[in-house]
Amino acid sequence: MFGAMRELALLELNRRCGETALGLPEIRARHGEQLALLLVEAAEKVARVYLLQAVADQPGMVKMWVEDLDEAKRLRLPFNKPSGAQSPALGPVFKRTSKPKDNPPCGPSLKIQNTTAKEFSAQAKADAVWRDYFRETCAILFEGTALRYGDAVYPIGEEADPHILAAAIRLIPEKETVFLSVVDAEGRWPGDRPEYQTYLAQALASIKYVTGEAREHGPADCPLCGVRGVTLYPNLRGTGINFANMDRAGAFPGLETGDAWCRLNRLDGSIINASRNHREILLRIIGAVGSIWGTALAYWMRTSNRSGPWTP
């Protein structure tokens, strides 16, 4: 099934990019923007975004405003769900949620905000092309001294608002889920920045496709596509795939996550992640795989001289 998902998703990527028989490395090199957008989650149900931008002539001041989202704007907000319930955000596109029964009644929580600050700071110090982008992002979210929203200015540094991100999450008045993101000095949103698209395409494997118990492995041969001498990643749940909860502790004695046989290389994980994130691609794959299984079943019934309903 994984092989079929990979091949069918790759065909769909070629179609979207106007190509015919490119592998994922070539698609990444020639059509990085389109690939990056498929590595994130579809967000049709989110209606608005609150945006944060540094005020150029007022050091330390950050302004916040709201915009309604259309399809073009959603493409500029590549959101990827964190790898766990308490994990840091993967980038500067946040889902601000309303939780009336909680204290505080909105999320992400301050704990997640602070772990996000540490992760963004690490990316800002990394030897990578996205380093400067995360430096700019950290300056907006965690180094500002005041937030201007509407006609009011809110000082930063109080217990309730230790940084701009916390103040923005608290002040947003929405009762439904909205996006919260950043805008750079030139007016570009995260999806407009090529270095952030590169981050999404390259860094997700080390963030989402490994766990504390199951680390990357290699160099080795990928069991899915056969490429040799690459790093393999075992956490298929990071791509949205779960083998019927067989990884639950004690469900199968001796079945350890760290010994997972089905490790994928980063590119195959990206293909499956893209197919899982976008409904139209997933439906194409489900339909095709269903046709393959149906044909195989019909052939088996004919050649085995069976009639009537099939039972395992």
Please write the tens of the pLDDT for every residue from 170-219: 999 999 999 999 999 999 999 899 899 888 877 766 666 666 666 676 77
d(CA 79, CA 93): 6
**Does 306 have pLDDT greater than 50?**
no
Q: What percent of the chain is predicted at pLDDT more than 70?
A: 63
Mean pLDDT of all residues belonging to the chain: 77
Q: What are phi and psi of 26, to 5 degrees?
A: -70, -40
**Does 231 have pLDDT greater than 80?**
no
* Interaxial angle between packed helices 110-125 and 164-171, expressed in degrees from 0 to 180 and rounded to the nearest 10: 140
**Does 246 have pLDDT greater than 50?**
no
d(CA 120, CA 92): 9
CA distances from 249 to 54, 114, 211, 256, 257 (A): 47, 30, 15, 8, 9
Q: Put residue 18 in one of left, alpha, beta given phi > 0 → left and psi -120 to 50 → alpha.
A: left
| Closest by Cα among 187, 179, 190 to 134 | 190
Q: Which range is least confidently modeled, 36-40, 53-57, 59-63, 172-176?
A: 36-40
**Does 132 have pLDDT greater than 90?**
yes
Q: What's the token pair of residue 126?
A: 């990394």
98 and 174 Cβ atoms separated by less than 8 Å: yes
pLDDT band at 292 (very low <50, low <70, confident <90, very high): very low
Q: What's the token pair of residue 23?
A: 């592998």
pLDDT reported for residue 284: 52
d(CA 148, CA 167): 10
Q: What are phi and psi of 9, to 5 degrees?
A: -65, -40
pLDDT reported for residue 235: 55
274 and 267 Cβ atoms separated by less than 8 Å: no
* 65 vs 1: which has the higher pLDDT: 65
Q: 262: which DSSP letter?
A: -
pLDDT reported for residue 210: 60
d(CA 133, CA 136): 5
pLDDT reported for residue 225: 67
CA distances from 304 to 33, 203, 291, 297, 308 (A): 50, 49, 20, 11, 12
* 2 vs 115: which has the higher pLDDT: 115
Its pTM surpasses 0.75? no
pLDDT reported for residue 181: 98
d(CA 297, CA 300): 5
User: What's the mean pLDDT in 97-101?
Assistant: 87
Q: What's the token pair of residue 24?
A: 């994922």
